Structure 1
């Protein structure tokens, strides 16, 4: 009986710890989806005035640079290596964070 309770408690704990992570985990996005999302966020910031012209220019320059890097990685074999994918993910995450910061820095287009 005690062993049965221990097994049930272990299962309950496993479910409790894995369910929230699965529910909150962001779905994986491919490179094209991430690029589209970042481009939309920059466009939205420009349209609603949350990004100044200079901010948008800097963000778009970085965005184009990432696109060129992605194309360079694709030309070197057609498929991303794990290292290339990790590098692109890190760079896209950094750009996403900069977009968020610039959109919320209380500098508005006039």
Structure 2
């Protein structure tokens, strides 16, 4: 009986803490901006090295990438508000879709 009581108490504690841990670990699909910047930069580099991105695609994507990074720096100068965080999130999502599209559009020319 004592084992059952301890097991139920442990289960109750685990059930109460799982939502807090899940939201703290980013299970709401939000990734830190620094991680997104590094990931997008890496994906563009991989596309260049593999030849999946043409020279024009790479130049355009890098330009758009730099614009979003500069915007992030401007936003951070005054502290990121919730609106600014959402704006950056939307912009990074759009750029991520563009990188995926350009890398998979079957224009397999080497970057020169």
> Which range, TM-score by smaller chain?
0.7 to 0.9
What is the TM-score normalised by the length of structure 2? 0.71
Indicate the residue corresponding to 1:49 in structure 2.
Answer: 51
Question: Aligned partners of 1:27 and 1:94: how far apart in 2?
Answer: 15
TM-score normalised by length of structure 1: 0.73
Q: Where does residue 59 of structure 1 map in the other structure?
A: 61
Structure 1 residues 26 and 44: CA distance shift in structure 2, 3 A: farther
Q: Secondary structure at the match of 1:99?
A: helix
Report what 1:98 is aligned to: 98
Q: How does 1:1-110 map to 2 (within 5 A)?
A: 28-75=30-77, 77=78, 79-110=79-110
Count of paired positions: 87
Gaps of 5+ in 1: 1-21
Which structure 2 residue ranges, 5 or more long, are not aligned? 1-21
* 2:51 alignment partner, SS class: coil
**Structure 1 residue 84, shift from structure 2 partner:** 0.1
Post-superposition offset of 1:28: 3.3
Work out the CA distance in 2 between the residues paired with 1:94 and 1:27. Answer: 15
**Which runs of 4 or more aligned residues in structure 1 lie more than 3 Å from their structure 2 counterparts after TM superposition?**
25-28
Q: Which has the higher contact order (CA 8 A, sep 6+)?
A: 2
